[in-house]
Chains A and B, each alone.
Chain A
Amino acid sequence: MMEKLLSRAGAVALIGVVAVSLAACSSGGDASTKTSTVQKGGTLTSLDVTGEYAGTDPVGVYLGVEIANFRRLVYRGLTALPITAEKNPKVVPDLATDTGTTKDQGKTWSFTLKKGLKWQDGKTITCADLQYGLSRSYDASLVAAGGGVGLTYFGDGSYNLIDPADPSYSFATKYTGPLTGTAESQARFEKAASCSGDTITYHFQNAWADFPTAAAALFSTDPYQKSFDKGTANLFTINSNGPYKLKGSTFDQNAGGTFERNSAYSASTDSTDVRKALPDVVKLEFVDSPETITERLIADSGTDQAAYSPLNIPSNKYSQITPDLSSRVMTSTSPYTRFLEINSKTLTDPDVRNALVAATDKAGVVKASGGAKWGTANGTTVSSAIPGFQETALNKIKPSGDISKAKKLLAGKTPEIRYAFPDTSPIAGQVAAVLQQGWEKAGFKVTLVPIAKDSKPGYYVQVGTDPKPIDVFFAGWAADWPSLFAVIPPIVQSNPKGATFGVGFNYGFYSNSKVDALIKQANNATDPVKQQKLLNEANEAAAVDGAYVPLANQNNYFIYGSKVGGFLPDVASSYYPDLGGMYVKK
């Protein structure tokens, strides 16, 4: 997903009487819970910034922190990732009796619902609810600000849901969802995602080997009650099937929401590996400034003692994190990476692109951004926190840049390049200056194109459109689910012919048939290890071809209140603090 918020973290598991600390590049942590017991009750508060949640309707939720929170609070999926410090956790059943069965290496997947599952109004969750939930992904009117993520995978994209009787039928173009779809398209959809009793079967054009993991991380396959559906009016409503439910009828986009226990939820249908549901109340409170959030958590007073934030400590507050706070701060690798996308339609010469890569001062970018606490220079768009991570040849280039190599590649040429970046803070300008300096040393003529935060159209619209008067632009990404599939294809797989806006995150319109062929092989492969190998090969081919300029792997740097227990950023929560295991110490 595009980087909007901040980072996630490695892990320190501190649940129960025995403290288990995890190596995985983390430091700091909740030492006091090494001898404390897990406690039920109290109010836990998550402090986040205003306006990040563009909607709570599951069909539109795509923000990592939102997925992480709601998966533990209110929206159960067919499967889930457990609360664990492991770097490569196995997916576990959630609403389904198991993690799905396939008889044709992933082209069809079947899941059977457990018994006793209820919505917050007491009605039983049925297979029809699962069908209905996925069908809403095809309704363009339910888009919200980031909606439609399901179509990226279930539409004419990577896997493509199909009518088994007529695989050529395109749901992405012909099916408009359950509210306005024709009877014929609705009937076809109900064959593509068919119900037999409590068992749903999905049919895909391409084998989807890690579909159970995707189902855990995406809300597209979650159930949705037809009787609850009011279309766009449901943008900020929540119909819970989890241990908590929203207090009040709508979630406030600017203020947040309070979640109380859901009396219709049955813990016997769930697992404490997925949801411990220890606090009585969970508040998601939004504040306008990350600096204010950090101040409050540093002060650690009143109700803020039982508060935490999924945001990183802003770099201008680093100096206030004194050693006495060490038991309440945590650093680790984040799944977010920063890189530059290159407009392959204007910079068509691979030597020029590779010269740009070689001349980039990654170390300077990291320093300008906040130093080691902010991130680590890297050589790929994939975070080291993602299972299957592998470095590329670009890791061998000195972090401060290799100007002589760049000059050799340019062979006397002095290309003019326009570098665009979101002008959201003084740091962005400093980073731009560092990049410009390195590139100009190699011989490039650089024009900076700062794009204001509230410019119209927005930054990503400007850089994602083709054609555009931009040659290279600042970007960031994190996996939508913990898999290389959620990082490599979105960035380097070719856009469809005739596209005028980047699909996935290939806003640079990079196109390489060798890379596309490797990704296609990975899609068709059924062995996850082989898939990872193929995807890493694709990434390597793209990297050495100058598809992008890697910059850094971000780090997480969290702070939390003194009464917060079980603070654990993990894979399941995209390395945001996992609400599933947190509790309030008495």
Chain B
Amino acid sequence: MIAFAIRRILVGIVLLLAMVLVVFVLFFAAGNPARDVCGKYCTPEKLANITQVYGYDKPITYQFGQFVQGLAVGRDYPVDDKYREALKKSNPSLVIHCDAPCLGYSLRSAITVNDAIAKYAPVTISIAIYAFIVWIVFGVLFGVIAAVFKGKWLDRVIVGVTLVVYALPTFFVGTFLLQFIAIRWKLFPYPRYVTIADGGVLNWVIGLTLPAMTLALFYMAAYVRITRAFVLESLSEDYIRTARAKGLTERVVLFKHGLRAALTPLLSMAGLDFAALLAGAVITEAVFSYQGLGLLAVTSNRNSDLPILIGLVIVAGAAVLVANIIVDILYALVDPRVRLS
């Protein structure tokens, strides 16, 4: 088991580095990062200054090496050694140090990528957790009900509703909740993110409700269908027939035997879905103007803020990779067939 875990972690690290390299090359190959940040009144002198000071004139391999060095031990900005050393002597407070793992520095936003992500992550994590709890609880609950009442009107209603909800795009649901439920009909307070420190737990929850529901409805619809399918499959197994033959009550058959088998793959899926959400629910955060990682990605793309975009992609990829590793290890713990295969 330990060997299995170590193997997965090592493979994960290699995959992470490969992902960083691909992302780095893709973004820098797409255009001129110095020109993007130079702005409207960009003269050739300014462009040359930015290119030199921030190292955009160095080969991609050198820039990548510096980036990896920053991840490992941190780095200083500006990038140009001579310029930076001169600045240390004349104005040391102008040299910016970025601690490891340094994801870069955004000249466009005057902030290290680490600080930008740390600033925006709490909103994303809050929405993700709230949505996750709702979709898991109600997705599984309604999925089980649908499976138990298979073929009956309750099953048909649940399946029909989930089909419709699943088909609705997130931006439509979010816009509807915001512009109609909150603004026009005033059925719910206008959503604003409030930290627990500022507004208490209740206001924090209220502020998160509409964006979380926007996400949760979509995932809930999917998990209702998936849970229903897994439970039905599980309930058709031979060991369930044996359990019933032994005289166990239907409740015990369902919750102790049927559901356990169905939930294992379900929870591993949920782990991966949750990890993907940590990258930021772009559409939801944009619709509600919530300052999370998703909105940061949108505005960074709009402003051609390359360092932040690279950092976000890496963080998102890393979250999914890590979740994959955790899920694989947990699965191996539960099912010995996995670690022996």
> How far, in whole Å, are A308 and B304 apart by their CA atoms in the complex?
29
Residues of chain A within 8 A (CB-CB) of B178 are 292
Proximity string of chain B (87-99) to chain A, C-beta cutoff 8 Å, 1 when within and 0 when not = 1001101101000
Q: Which of B41-49, B229-237, B311-319, B325-333 contacts the other chain?
A: B41-49
Other-chain residue from A151, A235, A253, A501 in contact with B299 (beta carbon distance below 8 A): A253
Other-chain residue from A151, A231, A461 in contact with B91 (beta carbon distance below 8 A): A231
Instruction: State whether B43 touches A287 (Cβ < 8 A).
Output: no
Other-chain residue from B38, B50, B291, B301 in contact with A254 (beta carbon distance below 8 A): B291
Residue of B nearest to A465 (CB): B35
9 closest residue pairs by CB, A with B: A235-B110, A456-B31, A148-B41, A140-B49, A140-B46, A231-B94, A51-B299, A288-B289, A145-B39
Other-chain residue from B32, B37, B109, B289 in contact with A287 (beta carbon distance below 8 A): B289
Interface check A121, CB cutoff 8 A? no
Instruction: State whether A232 touches B302 (Cβ < 8 A).
Output: no
Instruction: State whether A232 touches B179 (Cβ < 8 A).
Output: no
> How far, in whole Å, are A180 and B286 apart by their CA atoms in the complex?
40
Residues of chain B within 8 A (CB-CB) of A144 are 39, 108
Other-chain residue from A148, A233, A299, A458 in contact with B110 (beta carbon distance below 8 A): A233
Proximity string of chain A (429-465) to chain B, C-beta cutoff 8 Å, 1 when within and 0 when not = 0000000000000000000000001101110110000
Q: Which of B110, B184, B289, B299 has the most CB of A within 10 A?
A: B110
Residues of chain A within 8 A (CB-CB) of B30 are 456
Instruction: State whether A143 touches B94 (Cβ < 8 A).
Output: no
Instruction: State whether A234 touches B110 (Cβ < 8 A).
Output: yes
Residues of chain B within 8 A (CB-CB) of A55 are 110
Interface check B186, CB cutoff 8 A? yes
A-B CB contacts (within 8 Å), total count: 137
Residues of chain A within 8 A (CB-CB) of B296 are 254
Residues of chain B within 8 A (CB-CB) of A458 are 36, 304
> How far, in whole Å, are A51 and B304 apart by their CA atoms in the complex?
12
> How far, in whole Å, are A188 and B288 apart by their CA atoms in the complex?
52
* CB within 8 Å for A148 and B43 given contacts A289-B287, A301-B186: yes
Interface check A243, CB cutoff 8 A? no
Proximity string of chain B (256-293) to chain A, C-beta cutoff 8 Å, 1 when within and 0 when not = 00000000000000000000000000000011110100
What is the distance, in angstroms, from A305's C-beta to the closest C-beta of chain B?
Answer: 12
* CB within 8 Å for A152 and B303 given contacts A179-B94, A295-B183: no
> How far, in whole Å, are A234 and B39 apart by their CA atoms in the complex?
17
Q: Which of B94, B111, B287 has the most CB of A within 10 A?
A: B94
What is the distance, in angstroms, from B17's C-beta to the closest C-beta of chain A?
Answer: 25
Instruction: State whether A292 touches B49 (Cβ < 8 A).
Output: no
Proximity string of chain A (137-162) to chain B, C-beta cutoff 8 Å, 1 when within and 0 when not = 00011011111110110000000000
Instruction: State whether B179 touches A295 (Cβ < 8 A).
Output: yes
Residue of B nearest to A181 (CB): B90
What is the distance, in angstroms, from B264's C-beta to the closest C-beta of chain A?
Answer: 39
What is the distance, in angstroms, from A473's C-beta to the closest C-beta of chain B?
Answer: 16
Instruction: State whether B35 touches A141 (Cβ < 8 A).
Output: no
Interface check B154, CB cutoff 8 A? no
| Number of B interface residues in the complex (CB < 8 A) | 50
> How far, in whole Å, are A292 and B31 apart by their CA atoms in the complex?
33
What is the distance, in angstroms, from B117's C-beta to the closest C-beta of chain A?
Answer: 13
* CB within 8 Å for A143 and B39 given contacts A148-B46, A302-B190: yes
Residues of chain A within 8 A (CB-CB) of B202 are none
* CB within 8 Å for A50 and B299 given contacts A173-B45, A179-B91: yes
What is the distance, in angstroms, from A201's C-beta to the closest C-beta of chain B?
Answer: 26
* CB within 8 Å for A62 and B301 given contacts A233-B96, A299-B183: no
> How far, in whole Å, are A282 and B87 apart by their CA atoms in the complex?
38
Residue of B nearest to A146 (CB): B40
Proximity string of chain B (102-115) to chain A, C-beta cutoff 8 Å, 1 when within and 0 when not = 00000111110000
> How far, in whole Å, are A232 and B183 apart by their CA atoms in the complex?
39
Residues of chain A within 8 A (CB-CB) of B94 are 179, 230-233
Instruction: State whether A180 touches B90 (Cβ < 8 A).
Output: yes
Residue of B nearest to A301 (CB): B186
Interface check A548, CB cutoff 8 A? no
Interface check A22, CB cutoff 8 A? no
Interface check B173, CB cutoff 8 A? no
Instruction: State whether B291 touches A252 (Cβ < 8 A).
Output: yes
> How far, in whole Å, are A286 and B285 apart by their CA atoms in the complex?
13
Can you list 15 A-B pairs, Cβ within 8 angstroms, ordered by A? Answer: A51-B299, A51-B303, A62-B40, A140-B45, A148-B40, A148-B43, A180-B87, A236-B109, A255-B291, A288-B295, A288-B298, A289-B287, A292-B287, A295-B183, A458-B304
| Number of A interface residues in the complex (CB < 8 A) | 55
Residues of chain B within 8 A (CB-CB) of A501 are 42, 44
> How far, in whole Å, are A255 and B109 apart by their CA atoms in the complex?
13
Interface check B53, CB cutoff 8 A? yes
Instruction: State whether A143 touches B37 (Cβ < 8 A).
Output: yes
* CB within 8 Å for A148 and B50 given contacts A180-B90, A500-B44: no
Interface check B86, CB cutoff 8 A? yes
Interface check A71, CB cutoff 8 A? no
* CB within 8 Å for A292 and B179 given contacts A179-B94, A255-B291, A461-B35: yes
Other-chain residue from A145, A230, A233, A291 in contact with B303 (beta carbon distance below 8 A): A145
Interface check A281, CB cutoff 8 A? no
Interface check A214, CB cutoff 8 A? no
* CB within 8 Å for A453 and B291 given contacts A140-B49, A143-B46, A295-B183: no
Residue of A nearest to B190 (CB): A302
Residue of A nearest to B105 (CB): A232
> How far, in whole Å, are A299 and B296 apart by their CA atoms in the complex?
28
> How far, in whole Å, are A383 and B233 apart by their CA atoms in the complex?
71
Proximity string of chain B (62-85) to chain A, C-beta cutoff 8 Å, 1 when within and 0 when not = 000000000000000010000000
What is the distance, in angstroms, from B176's C-beta to the closest C-beta of chain A?
Answer: 12
* CB within 8 Å for A151 and B39 given contacts A145-B303, A180-B87, A233-B94: no
Instruction: State whether A299 touches B108 (Cβ < 8 A).
Output: no
Given A232-B94, A254-B291; 9 other pairs, CB 8 A cutoff: A148-B43, A151-B41, A173-B45, A180-B87, A235-B110, A286-B289, A292-B179, A296-B183, A456-B36
Instruction: State whether A295 touches B46 (Cβ < 8 A).
Output: no
Instruction: State whether B35 touches A254 (Cβ < 8 A).
Output: no
Which residues 37-87 in A have Cβ within 8 Å of B in the complex?
A: 50-51, 54-55, 60, 62
Residues of chain B within 8 A (CB-CB) of A151 are 41, 43
Other-chain residue from B93, B184, B303 in contact with A54 (beta carbon distance below 8 A): B303
Residue of B nearest to A454 (CB): B301
Residues of chain A within 8 A (CB-CB) of B291 are 252, 254-255
Interface check A2, CB cutoff 8 A? yes
Interface check A342, CB cutoff 8 A? no
Interface check A172, CB cutoff 8 A? yes
Q: Which of A252, A253, A254, A291 has the most CB of B within 10 A?
A: A254
> How far, in whole Å, are A231 and B94 apart by their CA atoms in the complex?
6
What is the distance, in angstroms, from A417's C-beta to the closest C-beta of chain B?
Answer: 26
Residues of chain B within 8 A (CB-CB) of A286 are 289
Residues of chain A within 8 A (CB-CB) of B86 are 180
> How far, in whole Å, are A2 and B40 apart by their CA atoms in the complex?
9
Instruction: State whether A296 touches B190 (Cβ < 8 A).
Output: yes
> How far, in whole Å, are A460 and B36 apart by their CA atoms in the complex?
11
Residues of chain B within 8 A (CB-CB) of A231 are 91, 94
